[in-house]
């Protein structure tokens, strides 16, 4: 089709989906098929649609999403490994009327940052914590994460994770749901269009709860790592359903009545 | 004529195929050509797109813009009264009664 | 004005933080500085300060990062082991150029050590402390009055240079009570605008990003060069020290903080016995008063450095003196405070070994 034909066709059409303005034009550095950038995009869609860009401050982690601030076009701070929720606490305490979210992977949030995670939730810090769980350290080359499944092969569990040497996968989302400081705790994913729609709803609700000063909202996103898992993106999403969901089932863990 | 269409920012496509998997109409394929990044990029190959946005929702690289046919506006053109009940007749933009 | 109060050093420091417009304090209890957290929890909160007892020093310094990055005047305090835990965060703060005030009420180490006063954290405070090339501006008070005064100076320096500032005190200064007078200080005259802060992005400017990550080595080198340039400016402008009886001195003592007060007493004792000795008290440990020490060292027969550690500042003294005079060291460690008589004795030993000023090449 020539460009004139396309333009003529599009004239009869209306745009129903476009990259949000709250994302920069920068090309994502993530591997093909990675869920991180979907999560970035959905957060930014909510920020755009809610019209809260001028009030939103994000905190980026260390890990694959260390450059999250190159894509999410809002004011952001880059935290030390594991400390995103402490940094977010500092921001929120001095700017209580802003929307503050932290963004972390499994190593960051559930290993090195466990203390900060637990205590931020336990204080009921009025922030949104986004936790992307793909059961592996992607950035450093595919090492075992606290959430790595039993039997799962990584570069530091080459024969598969065993209880004897590495203990059990950490279900930190269920842990924080037990804390009275959390108001809304949910586990979502981005492997299908519907899952993405559900995540968007969860993020929208979380910002609404933050506005109402309800306490900590915590969203785990069970995601993939095609490179680390050594699969194609399509295979990785199928593997995620088959292997991750039995231990990390999607759905609300703690939701207001 | 398809009800919708999609436009790809092919230079930023990484050919992950998640949109192809998500498309309920099987309208998408990877191009045999590659972009400057070295990836086969996705293209629309059928004229059956409904503009459902599924592909764009799962696209990790936010390279998909989705368009859908504009909803037809219906304007009343005549009003008949004094019968047992009111009857409204409309025509669409192309002048056809509906 | 002239409103003297009798206060503990820690409390005076905390009171000064409130009146210096410190918006938020994040800290964790540790002896001998917990009064700061307690005073601010009570009096600070009453006067509108945000005070949060964090789950650890690690969390506290990262809360400081967040709050400083959001444009607030912020402070934390701790003592040696807790300050060690903060080093990672301080490196990030220095790299991201965030202004904040960090108080170290130094106690004896290494390890868990003791809760008694010490100066064993000199290296950590003045040489960076964490990873990478950076400096804190380090102020060393030697009285309760200075524990208070340096808070205002510290915040002002932090804001002026977008750099973390440390007040390096010790357990004795924190715990002892003295009279203190708080200066007139209008906060609004001292806090500059912070257009770089993350407060929410308005349409008219690009997003503000607080980060210490610059993955391209050439870019990271540029960041380093800019930091080093800033440190050279700080070194040229902000050196502070006190010189006592140095005009006619034949010997020089260099000591900071609490030890400088003891050394001052030793100077008086020695002078009464006919030894013409002067004292240099570095007030800024970084930037170090190398120039003043060097110029006095040229005129004296020997330099004695006294510290409550195994000899840390003495290395900077030797670098400053650069062979112009013999430099000896006397230190007590582990929380033991040297007595004036000990210092006089060391001075006499130095004087006996070096009775006259020597030509430079001898050393």
pLDDT exceeds 60 at position C359:
no
User: Of the candidates A16, A37, A232, which has its C-beta nearest B53's C-beta?
Assistant: A16
Chosen for mutation from A86, A112, A127 (greatest number of chain C CBs closer than 10 Å) is A86
Closest by alpha carbon to A253, among A171, A147, A135?
A: A171
Task: Give the tokens for residue A153.
Answer: 């092969």
Distance (Å, whole) CA C168 – CA C283: 10
- Contact of A112 with chain C, judged by CB distance below 8 Å, is answered with no
pLDDT score for C100: 98
- Contact of C223 with chain A, judged by CB distance below 8 Å, is answered with no
pLDDT exceeds 90 at position A4:
no
The two domains C4-193+211-237 and C241-362 share their CATH topology (first three levels equal): yes
DSSP structural state of residue A111: I
User: Of the candidates A10, A14, A28, which has its C-beta nearest B60's C-beta?
Assistant: A28
pLDDT score for B2: 81
* Partners of residue A193 in chain B, C-beta under 8 Å: 22, 52-54, 57-58
pLDDT score for C2: 61
pLDDT, tens digit, for every residue of C107-141? 999 999 999 999 999 999 999 999 999 999 999 99
Q: Is A13 helix (H, G, I), strand (E, B) or coil?
A: strand
Check B65 against A17: CB less than 8 A apart: yes
pLDDT exceeds 80 at position B89:
no
Nearest chain A Cα distance for residue C218, angstroms: 18
For A32, list phi and psi in degrees, rounded to 5: -55, 130
pLDDT exceeds 80 at position C184:
yes
DSSP structural state of residue A242: I
Beta strands in A33-181 (DSSP E): 56-60, 75-78, 99-105, 128-133, 136-137, 143-144
Residue whose entry in the numeric block shows the structure tokens 């950076």: C134
* Partners of residue A226 in chain B, C-beta under 8 Å: 16
Q: What are the domain boundaries of chain B?
A: 4-68
pLDDT, tens digit, for every residue of A226-250? 999 999 999 999 999 999 999 999 9
The answer to whether the CB of A122 falls within 8 A of the CB of A177 is: no
* Partners of residue A239 in chain B, C-beta under 8 Å: none
* Partners of residue A36 in chain B, C-beta under 8 Å: 60
pLDDT exceeds 60 at position C237:
yes
Assign 3-class secondary structure to chain C: CCCEEEEEHHHHHHHHHHHCCCCEEEECCCCCCHHHHHHHHHHHHHCCCEEEECCCHHHHHHHHHHHHHCCCCEEEEECHHHHHHCHHHHHHHHHHCCCEEEEEEEECCCCCCCCCECCCCHHHHHCCCCCCCCCCEEECCCCHHHHHHHHHHHHHHHHHHCCEEEEEEEHHHHHCEEEEECCCCCHHHCCCCCCCCCCCCCCCCCCCEECCCCCCHHHHHHHHHHHHHHHHHHHHHCCCEEEECCCCCCEEEECCHHHHHHHHHHHHHHHHCCCCEEEEEECEEECCCHHHHHHHHCCCCEEEEEECCCCCHHHHHHHHHCCCCCEEEEECCCCCCCCHHHHHHHHHHHHHHCCCCCCHHHC
pLDDT score for A151: 97
pLDDT score for B93: 67
User: Of the candidates B60, B69, B70, which has its C-beta nearest A30's C-beta?
Assistant: B60
For residue B91, what pLDDT band results from cuts at 50, 70 and 90?
Answer: low
Task: Give the tokens for residue A8.
Answer: 């003529």
- Contact of A5 with chain B, judged by CB distance below 8 Å, is answered with no
Which residues sit opposite A78 in a β-bridge?
Answer: A60
pLDDT, tens digit, for every residue of A70-88? 999 999 999 999 999 999 9
- Fold topology of C241-362: Rossmann fold (3.40.50)
Dihedral (Cα; B17, B20, B23, B27), 10-degree rounding: 150
pLDDT, tens digit, for every residue of A135-187? 999 999 999 999 999 999 999 999 999 999 999 999 999 999 999 999 999 99
Q: Tell me what the mean pLDDT of segment C192-202 comes to.
A: 98
Chosen for mutation from C40, C59, C206 (greatest number of chain A CBs closer than 10 Å) is C59
Q: What are the domain boundaries of chain C?
A: 4-193+211-237, 241-362
pLDDT exceeds 90 at position C332:
yes
Give the chain A residue nearest C66 (alpha carbons): A87
DSSP structural state of residue A35: S
For A111, list phi and psi in degrees, rounded to 5: -115, -80
pLDDT, tens digit, for every residue of A27-67? 999 999 999 999 999 999 999 999 999 999 999 999 999 99
Least confident of C40-44, C96-100, C146-150, C352-356: C352-356
Chain A, chain B: beta-carbon pairs less than 8 Å apart:
94
Distance (Å, whole) CA A170 – CA A113: 13
For residue B78, what pLDDT band results from cuts at 50, 70 and 90?
Answer: low
pLDDT score for A10: 72
Check residues B84 and C239 and name the one with the higher pLDDT: C239
Strands C4-8 and B64-69: unpaired
* Partners of residue B34 in chain A, C-beta under 8 Å: none
Provide DSSP, A72-89.
B-SEEEEPPTT-HHHHHH
pLDDT score for A12: 82
pLDDT score for C194: 98
pLDDT, tens digit, for every residue of A99-109? 999 999 999 99
pLDDT score for C3: 80
Distance (Å, whole) CA C169 – CA C257: 7
- Fold topology of A26-254: Rossmann fold (3.40.50)
pLDDT exceeds 80 at position C222:
yes
Q: Tell me what the mean pLDDT of segment A183-195 comes to.
A: 98
- Contact of A196 with chain B, judged by CB distance below 8 Å, is answered with yes
pLDDT, tens digit, for every residue of A109-138? 999 999 999 999 999 999 999 999 999 999
Q: Touching C: which chains, 3+ CB pairs < 8 A?
A: A
Closest by alpha carbon to A155, among A228, A74, A104?
A: A228
**CATH code for the domain defined by C4-193+211-237:** 3.40.50.970
Nearest chain A Cα distance for residue B56, angstroms: 7
- Contact of A88 with chain C, judged by CB distance below 8 Å, is answered with yes
Check B68 against A13: CB less than 8 A apart: yes
- Fold topology of B4-68: Alpha-Beta Plaits (3.30.70)
pLDDT score for C363: 46
């Amino acid at each position: 089709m020539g460009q004139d034909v396309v333009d003529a066709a599009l004239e009869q059409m209306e745009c129903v989906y476009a990259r949000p303005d709250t994302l920069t034009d920068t090309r994502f550095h993530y591997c093909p098929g990675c869920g991180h950038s979907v999560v970035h995009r959905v957060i930014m869609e909510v920020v755009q649609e809610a019209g809260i860009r001028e009030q939103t401050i994000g905190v980026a982690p260390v890990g694959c999403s260390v450059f999250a601030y190159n894509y999410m076009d809002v004011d952001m701070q880059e935290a030390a490994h594991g400390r995103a929720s402490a940094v977010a606490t500092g921001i929120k305490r001095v700017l209580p009327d802003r929307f503050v979210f932290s963004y972390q992977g499994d190593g960051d949030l559930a290993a090195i940052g466990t203390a900060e995670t637990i205590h931020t939730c336990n204080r009921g810090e009025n922030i949104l914590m986004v936790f992307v769980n793909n059961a592996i350290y992607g950035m450093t080359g595919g090492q075992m994460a606290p959430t790595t499944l039993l039997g799962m092969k990584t570069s530091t569990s080459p024969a598969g994770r065993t209880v004897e040497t590495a203990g059990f996968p950490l279900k930190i989302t269920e842990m924080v749901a037990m804390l009275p400081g959390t108001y809304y705790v949910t586990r979502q994913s981005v492997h299908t269009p519907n899952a993405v729609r559900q995540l968007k709803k969860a993020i929208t609700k979380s910002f609404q709860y933050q506005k109402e000063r309800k306490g900590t909202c915590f969203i785990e996103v069970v995601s993939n790592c095609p490179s680390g898992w050594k699969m194609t993106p399509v295979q990785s999403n199928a593997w995620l359903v088959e292997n991750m969901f039995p231990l990390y089932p999607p759905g609300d863990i703690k939701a207001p009545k | 004529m398809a009800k919708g269409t999609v436009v790809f920012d092919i230079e930023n496509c990484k050919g992950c195929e998640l949109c192809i998997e998500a498309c309920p109409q099987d309208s998408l394929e990877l191009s045999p050509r590659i972009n400057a990044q070295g990836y086969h990029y996705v293209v629309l190959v059928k004229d059956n797109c409904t503009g459902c946005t599924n592909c764009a929702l799962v696209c990790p690289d936010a390279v998909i813009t989705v368009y859908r046919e504009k909803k037809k506006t219906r304007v009343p053109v005549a009003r008949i009264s004094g019968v047992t009940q009111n009857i409204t007749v409309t025509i669409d933009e192309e002048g056809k009664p509906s | 004005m002239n409103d003297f109060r009798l206060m503990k050093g820690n409390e005076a420091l905390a009171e000064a933080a409130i009146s210096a417009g410190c918006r938020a304090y994040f800290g964790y209890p540790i002896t001998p500085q917990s009064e700061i957290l307690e005073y601010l929890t009570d009096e600070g909160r009453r006067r509108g300060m945000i005070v949060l007892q964090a789950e650890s020093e690690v969390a506290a310094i990262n809360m400081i990062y967040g709050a400083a990055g959001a444009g607030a005047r912020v402070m934390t305090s701790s003592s040696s082991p807790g300050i060690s835990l903060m080093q990672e965060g301080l490196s990030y703060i220095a790299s991201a150029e965030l202004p904040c005030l960090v108080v170290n009420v130094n106690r004896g180490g290494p390890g868990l050590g003791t809760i008694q006063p010490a100066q064993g954290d000199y290296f950590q405070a003045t040489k960076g402390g964490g990873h990478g090339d950076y400096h804190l501006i380090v102020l060393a008070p030697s009285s309760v009055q200075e524990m208070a005064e340096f808070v205002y100076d510290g915040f002002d320096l932090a804001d002026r240079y977008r750099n973390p500032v440390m007040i390096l005190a010790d357990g004795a200064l924190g715990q002892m009570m003295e009279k203190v007078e708080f200066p007139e200080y209008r906060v609004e005259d001292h806090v500059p605008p912070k257009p770089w802060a993350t407060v929410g992005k308005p349409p008219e400017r690009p997003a503000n990003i607080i980060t210490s990550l610059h993955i391209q080595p050439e870019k990271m080198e540029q960041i380093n060069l800019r930091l080093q340039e800033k440190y050279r400016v700080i070194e040229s402008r902000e050196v502070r020290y006190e010189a006592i009886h140095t005009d006619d001195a034949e010997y020089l003592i260099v000591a900071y903080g609490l030890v400088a007060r003891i050394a001052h007493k030793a100077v008086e004792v020695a002078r009464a016995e006919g030894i013409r000795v002067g004292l240099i008290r570095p007030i800024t440990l970084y930037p170090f008063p190398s120039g003043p020490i060097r110029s006095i060292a040229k005129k004296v027969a020997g330099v004695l450095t006294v510290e409550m550690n195994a000899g840390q500042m003495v290395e900077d003294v030797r670098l400053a003196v650069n062979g112009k005079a013999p430099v000896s060291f006397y230190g007590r460690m582990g929380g033991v405070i040297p007595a004036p008589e000990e210092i006089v004795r060391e001075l006499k030993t130095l004087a006996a070994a070096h009775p006259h000023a020597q030509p430079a090449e001898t050393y």
